[in-house]
Amino acid sequence: MKIGILADTHIRKGRNLPPVVWETLAEVDMILHAGDIGSSSFLKDLESIAPVIAVKGNGDWMMEGLPEKAIFNLAHVKVGMIHGHQGPGQNTPQRALNTFAQDRVDVIVFGHSHIPYKTYTSGILLFNPGSPTEKRGSEFHSMGLMNINDSDFDIQHIFF
């Protein structure tokens, strides 16, 4: 199973994803979006490629029906996803981790900072794909790609 991971796309009128993102997403089985999507029409564009699981970011205040937090299984991997702007903690990774403190998840996917992040904390993989449209202090734009096989999983950043 191959999963594309996005956050902080901020797609609004006149803005689109770079071609490399569309090319990568064309090969996935599912898409995760950790908030600040930008528009319902963009979310529908993603859904035309593959099933999408998305959460609401602080910039998605006009988008109805999106949860603030999601917990779901992808094969044998339990994933928690949140945008990362809410909750206690001194920085975005801490807020994301604290949000799922009572949940048994293998991976926490979050966004908000636009900064690519990948580290294990207390046996949980914290992953921020960065942003494909607004790199904000990062050297490159980025997204994530998760591969799950029968016994394990891996998540990598794609930088462009």
CATH code at position 84: 3.60.21.10
The token pair at 37 is 């999507």
Mean residue pLDDT across the chain: 96
Place of tokens 């801490």: 94
Q: Are strands 69-74 and 52-54 parallel, antiparallel or unpaired?
A: unpaired
Residue 62 has pLDDT above 90, yes or no: no
pTM recorded for the entire structure:
0.96
The token pair at 133 is 């449209």
Q: How many CA atoms lie within 13 A of 153 on its CB side?
A: 20
Number of domains the chain is built from: 1
The token pair at 9 is 């796309």
pLDDT band at 87 (very low <50, low <70, confident <90, very high): confident
CA separation (Å) from 44 to 41, 48, 89, 99, 103?
A: 5, 6, 33, 28, 30
Length of the chain: 160
Q: What angle do CA 90, 95, 98 make, to 5 degrees?
A: 120
d(CA 72, CA 39): 23
Residue 93 has pLDDT above 90, yes or no: yes
Percentage of the chain modeled with pLDDT above 70 = 100
The domain in which residue 135 lies consists of 2-159
Percentage of the chain modeled with pLDDT above 90 = 91
pLDDT band at 39 (very low <50, low <70, confident <90, very high): very high
Residue 14 has pLDDT above 90, yes or no: no
